[in-house]
């Protein structure tokens, strides 16, 4: 079985296994990379005969053909993911495509990733929101929600009124919209996001207007989705992106900003005001705090002299109960003492007891 498994046949098996496990857009990306790039070159090669050197040459050739670095990165990611499945299936014992992305510099450096993260500062955000309130009032609640709750655009599209708890000021994020279809969130986990007082008022007013409109039109129910277009259907990303660009232009802000920048703005402003990265991670729904720090590290406060100054202040800082070296000066010398020639490095048991940790120690 191992000897006869070709790349083309295994690729078909792999895609069929993924249908119920990945988002449709991801599956479509894998299929396109296999059909257009990978199988025409590697399809006749048995999986066990795929060599690291050959894969590296293949990726380099793709770069020479003029494909962008990101396109080649996605081609490599597709092949690596398929070969990892092949390891689990017992078809091969190691992945020859592992770590080639770093060698070929297909992944962005930390500096490059920083430059890719675009976020408004507080004044820019105010200018954007003020402009949206005047020029695009229908979209103002959506943009305000993205900026105050840090939701992904697809997560906002999937919100229903039942997901909003105005009393406890929380938003339940359980699903998202991808390519127009309801799906899980990007992390495949639901989360609760805190709702600011201003956001509660904005969304509460939106709900009140919807109820009034429902009564005026004689309808029995209003749309269950929080953010809808003029005919009561969920908003779509293409339309929202166009409206966002119009607002950015009217506000005289840089045109490289996108709706996703409001999520970055939410995270960066929280970190700049000193909130815990762990809190920001939970609000954003990141899989790990490392991802949060790697993405938004440049907005973390790097210096805090007040923190180290508090160590000097016995009235407010940590207080030491005892010192292991204090007893050396006060203990009377004894001719019969045989404990150590170097008291500084080898203390008696009693000295360790006097050097107990502060009572406030939480380590």
pLDDT tens per residue, range 79-113? 999 999 999 999 999 999 998 988 888 876 666 66
DSSP annotation of 170 reads: E
Q: Higher pLDDT residue, 303 or 153?
A: 153
Quote the pTM value.
0.71
* Residue 304 is assigned to a structural domain of this protein: no
Question: What is the spatial order of strands in the sheet that 170-173 belongs to?
Answer: 164-165, 170-173, 191-194
* Domain identity same for 133 and 56: no
286: tokens are: 């990141």
Mean per-residue pLDDT for 70-87? 94
* Domain identity same for 140 and 236: yes
Buried b / exposed e over 25-61, threshold 16 CB at 10 Å, is eeeebbeebbeebbbeebeeebbbebeeeebbebbee
Report the C-alpha gap between 186 and 287 in whole angstroms.
9
Q: Is the pLDDT of residue 351 over 60?
A: no
Query: What is the model's pLDDT at position 187?
Result: 81
Query: What is the model's pLDDT at position 232?
Result: 86
**Among candidates 97, 104, 88, which has minimal Cα distance to 45?**
97
Q: Higher pLDDT residue, 103 or 319?
A: 103
Contact 35, 66 (CB under 8 A): no
* Domain identity same for 32 and 83: yes
Sign of CA dihedral 302, 303, 307, 308: positive
**Among candidates 263, 276, 239, which has minimal Cα distance to 144?**
263
Residues in Cβ contact with 83 at an 8 Å cutoff, skipping those fewer than 6 apart: 47, 50, 92, 95, 96, 97
Select, from the ranges 61-70, 164-173, 353-362, the one with the highest average predicted confidence (pLDDT): 164-173
261-272 helix and 277-284 helix, angle to the nearest 10 degrees: 160
* Domain identity same for 142 and 285: yes
Query: What is the model's pLDDT at position 323?
Result: 52
Split at pLDDT 50, 70, 90, the class of 349 is: very low
Contact 253, 128 (CB under 8 A): yes
Q: Is the pLDDT of residue 147 over 90?
A: yes
Residues in Cβ contact with 249 at an 8 Å cutoff, skipping those fewer than 6 apart: 255
* Domain identity same for 227 and 325: no
* Residue 81 is assigned to a structural domain of this protein: yes
Contact 82, 14 (CB under 8 A): yes
What count of residues does the chain have?
363
- Please, how many CA atoms are within 13 Å of residue 200, restricted to the half-sphere of its CB? 11
Query: What is the model's pLDDT at position 24?
Result: 85
- Domain boundary (107, 133, 152) is at 107
* Domain identity same for 191 and 292: yes
Split at pLDDT 50, 70, 90, the class of 133 is: very high
Domain count, the chain: 3
Contact 137, 130 (CB under 8 A): no
Q: Is the pLDDT of residue 337 over 50?
A: no
The whole domain housing 338 covers 319-354
Strands (E), the chain: 164-165, 170-173, 176-178, 181-183, 191-194
Report the C-alpha gap between 169 and 195 in whole angstroms.
5
Tell me, what CATH number does 21's domain have? 1.10.150.130
* Residue 112 is assigned to a structural domain of this protein: no
Query: What is the model's pLDDT at position 308?
Result: 81
pLDDT tens per residue, range 213-227? 889 888 888 889 999
Query: What is the model's pLDDT at position 339?
Result: 44
Q: How far is CA 130 from the centre of its chain?
A: 28
Report the C-alpha gap between 187 and 250 in whole angstroms.
34
Query: What is the model's pLDDT at position 353?
Result: 39
DSSP annotation of 45 reads: S
């Amino acid at each position: 079985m191992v000897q006869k498994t070709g790349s083309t046949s295994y690729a078909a098996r792999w895609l069929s296994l993924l249908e119920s496990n990945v988002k449709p857009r991801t599956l479509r990306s894998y299929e396109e990379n296999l059909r257009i790039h990978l199988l025409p070159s590697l399809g006749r090669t048995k999986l066990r005969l795929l060599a690291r050197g050959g894969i590296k040459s293949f990726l380099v050739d793709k770069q020479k053909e003029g494909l962008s670095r990101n396109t080649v990165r996605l081609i490599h990611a597709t092949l690596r993911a398929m070969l990892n499945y092949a390891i689990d299936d017992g078809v091969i014992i190691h992945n020859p495509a592992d770590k080639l992305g770093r060698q070929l510099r297909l992944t962005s450096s930390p500096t490059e990733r920083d430059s890719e993260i675009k976020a408004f500062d507080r004044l820019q955000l105010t200018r954007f929101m003020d402009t949206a309130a005047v020029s695009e009032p229908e979209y103002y609640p959506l943009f305000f929600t993205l900026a105050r709750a840090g939701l992904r655009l697809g997560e906002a599209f999937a919100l229903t009124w039942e997901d909003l708890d105005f009393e406890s000021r929380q938003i339940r994020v359980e699903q998202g919209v991808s390519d127009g279809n309801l799906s899980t969130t990007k992390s495949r986990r639901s989360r609760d996001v805190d709702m600011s007082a201003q956001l509660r008022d904005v969304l509460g007013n939106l709900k009140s207007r919807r109820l009034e409109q429902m009564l005026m039109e004689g309808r029995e129910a209003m749309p269950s989705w929080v953010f809808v277009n003029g005919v009561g259907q969920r908003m779509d990303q293409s339309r929202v992106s166009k409206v966002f660009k119009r607002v950015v232009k009217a506000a005289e802000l840089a045109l490289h900003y996108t709706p996703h920048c409001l999520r970055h703005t939410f995270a960066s402003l929280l970190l700049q005001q000193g909130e815990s990265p762990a809190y920001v991670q939970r609000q954003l729904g990141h899989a790990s705090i490392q991802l949060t720090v790697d993405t938004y590290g440049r907005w973390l406060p790097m210096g805090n002299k007040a923190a180290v100054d508090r160590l000097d202040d016995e009235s407010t800082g940590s207080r030491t109960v005892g010192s292991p070296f204090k007893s050396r000066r006060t203990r009377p010398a004894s001719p019969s003492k045989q404990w150590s020639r170097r008291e500084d490095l080898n203390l008696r048991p009693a000295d360790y007891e006097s050097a107990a940790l502060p009572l406030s120690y939480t380590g």
